[in-house]
A and B are shown apart, each in its own frame.
Chain A
Amino acid sequence: MEKELKPIKQGPAVHGKSQLQLLMLKVVLALSPALIWAFYVFGWAAFIALMLTCVSGFVFEWVALRLRSRGRTRQAYDGSGLLSCILLAMSLPPMGPWWLYVLGSFVSIVITKQLFGGLGQNVFNPAMSARVFLLLSCPAYMTAWLDPDKKAGLVDTLRYMFIDWHRESYDALTTATTLDAWRNAKLTGLPLPQPELTDMFVGSTAGSMGEVSAMLLLLGGMYLLFSGIIRWHLPAGFLAGVMLPATLFWLLGPEGTHLSPLVYLVAGSTMMGAFFIVTDPVTAPVTPHARFVFAFLIGALSYLIPAYGLYPVGLSFAVLLMNSTVPLLERLFRPRIFGR
C-alpha cells in the first residue's frame, strides 16, 4: 500500500490491455506478410530500401525529440516512427537512389511529424506527405518501378542504389505499373493492355512494395479489423469511394475508356489505402460518421485524380487534401450528446 505505483485518486484503478506500443507493433505485424512477399518479388532492393528508410527515420526522430527536450527521446521507441517509415518505404519504388529514402524519412518524420508537435499532433499523413514531396521533387525516380523479372543480386543492387544511381542506368531494369501502363497507353493512343487480374491480386507485377500483393494486404487488413485495431468505417468508406465512381464511369463511359472496377479492387494500392493509409488514426477524424465520409472522399478522389488529372497516382494527394478537412468533418458529424 505504501509503495503505490503512481498515486491516483480518480479514474479507473485498473486498465485494459490496450497499449500504444503494442498497437503499433500489431499494425507492423499485419503489414509483414506483404513485406516479406515484396522481399521475395523484388529481392535485395526492397530489403535495403526498407532498412534505409527505417534506420534513417529512427535517427531523425531521435535527434528531433532530443532537440525538443531531453526527456522525450523515449518516445522514439513507441513504434509510431517505425510504422510511418515502413508505410513510406512501401509506397516508394522498391529500387531507387539511397537519398530518396533518407530524404523521404526526413520529410516524413521531421517535417510532417515532429515539427507539428510529434505523435498525435501532425495534421498530415507522414508517409503520404513524404511521398508527395518526392513525387514533386524527383518525378523521374518516383515513376521508375523495378521489374520483378529483372531483380538483381546483392552486389548489383548495392551498386545501383548507392553508386550508379543515374536515371539512365535504371531504365533497363524498370517498367511501369499495370495501372500506369494502361493510363500511358490511353494518353498516347496506343493499344490498351489487358490487366492480368490474378497477377495483380497475388502480386507479381511491378509497383511499390505496398501495392505488390493485394491478397496479403487484404489478409493483414482483415487481421486488423478482427483484432479490433481498426473499425470498418474507414476501409469500407474508402472501398466504396473507389468502387462507386469506378463502376459508374465504367458503365456510363464510352467502351474502352475506363478500366473495369474489378481491376481497382485487385490493385494493391487500393488495399494498401483502405487498410493501412486512410486508417492512420492521427490524421483521420474520430467520430464514425466523419470517418466514413472522410474515407469515401479519399477513395473517390484517388480514383478521379489519375483518371482526369496530371499525375498517375491519386491516393497520396487525396489523403493530404482530406487531412486538411478533418476538423471540419469532425464538426459537421459530431454525435448528439446523450439527453440533448
Chain B
Amino acid sequence: MMFGLAKKFDGGLKLPPNKHGAEAPSRILPIPESLTYYLTKNIKETHQCIVNIGETVLFGQSIARGLGHQPDIHAAYGGVIEAIGSKAGPYDAPEEQAVIIRTSEYKNVYKHDDKIKNKSDLLKSMGVAGMGGAAFPTGEKVQAAGAPRVWLINGVECEPMLSCDQCLMREQADKLVQAIRYLAAEIMPGRVILALESDKADAVSAMRLALGDVTDIELACLPPRYPQGGEKQLIQTLLGLEVPSGTHAAHLGILVLNVATVMAAFDALAYHLPLTHRLVTVAGQGVSAPGNVWVPIGAALKDVLDFCGYDGAATLRVTVGGPMMGRAVNSLDVAVTKGTSAILALTAADELAVYSAQPCIRCGVCTEVCPARLQPEDMYFNIRAGRLNRTRETGLMDCIACGACAYVCPSEIPLVASFLYAQQICRIEDEQKARAAYIGDLVKARDARLAARRSVRMGKSASREAAARTVDPAAMEKVDAAREKARSKIDK
C-alpha cells in the first residue's frame, strides 16, 4: 500500500547523493588475519571479557558479556585469543580496551543453547544492536516499546554516499519481508510501515516485488531529504508527531528499527544466530572499487579498504560512518563495529570540510536547516562563552548532531564538534550531580540511623529513670541536685 506524507520534517536540506558503487552487487571480505572487539567506549567499560588469552574460540562464540543493556559480543570467525589490551578506537578517546582474535579455525560453529525465551534477552545475548549508526541496544528498544502502535522499518538511508541498506533491500528483499512478518508476529505492532527514499529506485522496486499485493506492510516512499532517516524526523514525516524532548520514540508507542537491524534480529530470534557480520559501504574517491562489502565485525579498516583498492597517497581523511554523521579516524587499525555503516576514504575531490572557523555573519542558514528547530549560531556563542546552562535551555540536548548546520555554514564554523563537546560536558556534569545526590541520600540515611539509635537509647534511659523514681524518690532527688550542679558548672 502506498502511503501519503503526514508532514515534512522541519529544516533539512537536499544533499548530493554521491552513492558510488550502490548498484554493484555486494562482495564478501576474505577472512582477515585478526579481529578486534572493543570492551570500552571512551574508556568506560561496556563489556566484560569472558575469555582468556590463548583460549580457542569458535565462530559465533560469545567472547564478552555486555554490561547493563549492552548486547554481547561474538567472534565472527574462530581463532585464538591473542591479546586483551589497548587498541586504537573509533570513539572520541584515542585508545580503547579490546580483545584481539587471531583467526585460524573456520570449520566449527559454536552452538548456542536455546534456553532463553524472552525476546529482548535473546536479542541481547545474540548481540543485536542498531545498525543504522548509533548501535543502540535493540533488546532494550524492543522491550521499551512493548507492543508498539506503529512499527517503522527504517530503510531511508538519507546520508550521502551510504548505500548498504539500499543494497541489502535490493539483494535480500524476500528475506527482509519474511523477517518483518516474523518479527511482527513477535512484537504485535498496530501498523507496520517500511520507509525508504524514492531515489533508490532499485530498492523500491525490489521491495514492491517482494511485498506483492499483500498490504500488511505499508510501503512509504519518501522524497529524498537529509536527515529524513533520523528516528525523530522519520516519525515527524510519516506520522506528524514530535517525540517529546528528552524521550525516545518508545514514549509515543513507536518502534523504529533499521532494515539491517531487522535482519539481524530475525536471525537472532528465529535461528539463534548471533550478529557477527554486516554490510558496510566502502566509498570515497580514495578507493578504486567502491561498493558494499560483507565484513566481519572486528575487521580492521585497513583490511576492508585494501580489499576495495585503497589509495593511501590520495586519501586525506578516512571516516567511519557517513560523511555527515561519521567520525574521522586517526588510525586504520580501528576495527569495524556493529554501528559501522560505512568506511569512506575521502580525497580532495570529495569537498572536505576544513573548519577554518571564520567569523559568524549570522546569515541564519544553520537555523533554517536545523531539523530540531534550534539556533546553532546562538548555541555556539554560548558554548564559547562557557554559558553551558544557557545553552541547555536553548536546546543543546535536543541537537541530534545531524551536521546540517556545519555543512551549510559559509564561515565553516565547527558547530557540531562544539555541540557534541558541550553535550559530553553536560552529561558528565549530570552524572556528577546524580552521584552527589545519591551520596547525599546516603549521608541523610546515616544521620537518620544515628538519630534513631540515639532516641532509642534516650528512651531506654528515660524509662529506667522513671522506674527508679517510683522505687526510691529520695535517691533520685540527690541525682537531680548533682545534675543541676554539673550543669551550672558547665554554664560557667
Give A residues with C-beta under 8 Å from B: 1, 3-20, 22-23, 75, 78, 80, 118-121, 231, 281-282, 284, 286-288, 291, 330, 334-340
Contacts and interface: CB of A to CB of B under 8 A. Distances in A.
A284 B312 contact: no
Interface stretch (B57-65, B206-214, B409-417, B434-442): B409-417
Given A330-B378, A334-B394, A337-B395, 18 more contacts: A1-B345, A5-B317, A6-B355, A8-B414, A11-B417, A12-B353, A14-B346, A20-B361, A20-B410, A23-B363, A286-B362, A286-B377, A287-B375, A334-B375, A338-B373, A339-B243, A339-B372, A340-B395
Contacts of A15: 351-354, 406-407, 412
Contact of A14 (B232, B350, B360, B374): B350
Residue from A10, A78, A80, A119 whose CB has the most chain B CB atoms within 10 Å? A10
Contacts of B415: 11
B365 interface: yes
Contact of B373 (A11, A80, A286, A337): A337
B324 interface: yes
A3 B346 CA distance: 12
B245 A337 contact: yes
For the complex, would chain A's binding face be called helix, strand, loop or mixed by DSSP majority?
loop
B328 A8 contact: yes
B245 A282 contact: no
Given A14-B353, A119-B359, A120-B359, A281 B364 contact: yes
A211 to B, nearest CB: 25
A228 B116 CA distance: 57
Given A5-B354, A23-B363, A120-B362, A12 B372 contact: no
Contacts of A284: 362
Contact of B353 (A13, A120, A335, A338): A13
A16 B360 CA distance: 16
A338 B10 contact: yes
A12 B374 CA distance: 18
Interface in B233-247: 236, 242-247
Given A1-B312, A284-B362, A337-B398, A11 B416 contact: yes
Q: How large is the interface on B (under 10, 10 to 19, 20 to 34, 35 or more residues)?
A: 35 or more
Interface string B315-326: 111110001111
Contact of B326 (A13, A17, A282): A13
Contacts of B421: 10
A9 B375 contact: no
Contact of B361 (A11, A119, A231, A338): A119
B403 interface: yes
Nearest to B13: A16
B358 interface: yes
Nearest to A284: B362
A6 B246 CA distance: 34
Contacts of B412: 15, 19-20
Given A5-B316, A335-B373, A11 B398 contact: no
Contacts of A1: 312, 315-318, 332, 345
Contacts of B326: 13
A15 B351 CA distance: 6
A284 B10 CA distance: 22
A11 B418 CA distance: 9
13 contacts: A3-B316, A7-B330, A10-B421, A13-B319, A13-B324, A14-B351, A15-B352, A20-B412, A119-B358, A335-B375, A337-B245, A337-B374, A340-B398
Contact of B323 (A14, A118, A281): A14
